[in-house]
Amino acid sequence: MFDRKSAQRRQLLAGGAAATLATLTSGLASSAWAAGSDKPEKEEVKIGFIPLTDCASVVMAAELGFDKKYGIKIIPSKEASWAGVRDKLVNGELDMSHVLYGLIYGVQLGIGGPKKDMAVLMALNNNGQAITLSKKLADAGAVDGPSLAKVMAANPREYTFAGTFPTGTHAMWMHYWLAAAGINPVAGAKLITVPPPQMVANMRVGNMDGFCVGEPWNHRAIMDGVGITANTTQDIWKDHPEKVLGTTLEFVKKYPNTARAVVMAVLEASRWIDAGLQNKLKMAETVAQKSYINTGVEAINQRILGRYQNGLGKTWDDPNHMKFFNDGAVNFPYLSDGMWFLTQHKRWGLLKSHPDYLAVAKQVNQIGLYTEAAKALGISVPKDPMRTSKLIDGVVWDGKDPAKYADGFKIKGA
C-alpha cells in the first residue's frame, strides 16, 4: 500500500524536481488525502479501451493482478470507436479509458464533442503508430510523403485519407505528415474518420487511399496485401506522446485515491511489459485474444520488438518502436505534449483562436497525482514538465511560444 509519510519524505528530498513541479500540484497533494487514508474510494474501476496494441498496459494490469495489489479491480471494457469512448467518459459510463491524447484536449475545449473538464493521469505509450498507403497507390509509385505528393500532382482527383478521431493523435499525425510532404490536408485532400479495427476492411474496398492508425492494423494491412507502410509515427516525431489514461476532472476530485491506485497498477504493468522479450511476447499473446484485439498474435509480436517491414520488401530493426515504460520516460504527462496537440488543433482550424496553452495543460495533466504514484514506486520523474523535440519537417517544438509555433507553419488550415 501507499505509504504517505515515505512519499512525503521522498518529495522533500527530491530537490529540483519537486521545486519545478510544486506550482503544478496546488490542491492535489491535500485532496489526495481527503478521506484521511490512502484506501481507494471506489474499488471497481471500469476502464475503456479500443482494440489496439497500445491498450496493453491497462489490460495487463488487470490480467496480471497488479490492480489487486493496490486495492482495486480494473474491469477492461472493449469499445467500438473513439467517439463512443468520448461519450462514455463524459456521461460516466466509463470511469477511465485508454484514449487518444488529443481527444481529451478536444473535449476540454469543446471541440470534437461536448465541453467538459478532463484529466490526463499518465501517458501509456510512445511511438508505434504508422501511415499506411494503399497497395494501389504504392504500385503507382507513392511509397512515402514526397512520392505521394508527385503522384497526387500528376494524377489529380479527390484523395481520401483516414484518421481515427478528428482531434486525436492519428488525425494530427496524418495532417502533419501530409503537410511535411507539401500536401495541404485541408485544401488538397479529404480526411475521414474510421474506427481502428475497420481501417483494413475499408482500404480493401477502396474507401481511402491512406490511413494513420495504431498497431496492429498497419501490419495487418501488409499481411492482407492491401497496404504498405510509408512511415512510422516515430519517423514523424521520435518518442512522441500517443495514448493516455484519461478521465474527467470530476472523477479525479471525487476519487483521488482510486485514481492514484490505478496509475500505480498501470505503471507496474508498463514496467513489466518493457522488462524483456518474454514479457512482450506474453503480452502479445494476451492482447491478441478475442476479448481484446481479436487478431492473430503474428500481427502484433513483430512490431512491438521493433522488427518492421514495409510491404515492399524492405525490412529494418527500429530502436524507436512502441514503448510502454522506458524507465519511466514514457509515462510522465509532460505539459508540452498536451500543448502540442492544441497547437495543431489551432493550425488546422479546429480552434478558431489561441487558447491559454499552458493554463489548459496545467489543468488537464495531473502531474501532482502522477508524481505521487511514480515516487511511491521508485520511478523517477523529470525535473522539467516541458520537453523539446524536432519533428520530421525539421521544426523544433519546445512549448515556449505555442502561439508563434502554431501560426508559423506555411501549410495550415483556413
Q: What is the pLDDT of residue 113?
A: 83
pLDDT band at 34 (very low <50, low <70, confident <90, very high): very low
DSSP codes of every residue in 220-234 = HHHHTTSEEEEEEHH
The three grid cell numbers given for residue 382, joined into one nine-digit string: 523529470
Backbone angles phi, psi at 309, to 5 degrees: -140, 155
* CB within 8 Å of 402: residues ≥ 6 apart: 339, 342, 343, 354, 357, 358
CB 262 within 8 A of CB 290: no
Residue with cell 492544441: 342
Cis peptide, bond prior to residue 216, ω within 30 of zero:
yes
Over residues 228-264, the pLDDT tens digits come to: 999 999 999 999 999 999 999 999 999 999 999 999 9
β-strands 389-390, 396-397 pairing: antiparallel
Task: Tell me, yes or no, if the pTM score tops 0.75.
Answer: yes
Closest CA to 178 of 141, 241, 133: 133
Residues 6+ apart with CB under 8 A from 108: 115, 116, 117, 118, 360, 363, 364
Give the model confidence (pLDDT) of 174-194 as tens digits. 999 999 999 999 999 999 999
Query: How far, in Å, CA of 320 to CA of 163, rounded?
Result: 22
User: Are the C-beta atoms of residues 335 and 20 closer than 8 Å to each other?
Assistant: no
Q: Is residue 35's pLDDT more than 90?
A: no
* Cα separations in angstroms, 272 against 58, 111, 344: 12, 36, 33
Question: Cβ contacts of residue 45 below 8 Å, gap of 6+?
Answer: 67, 72, 73, 74, 75, 95, 96, 258, 262
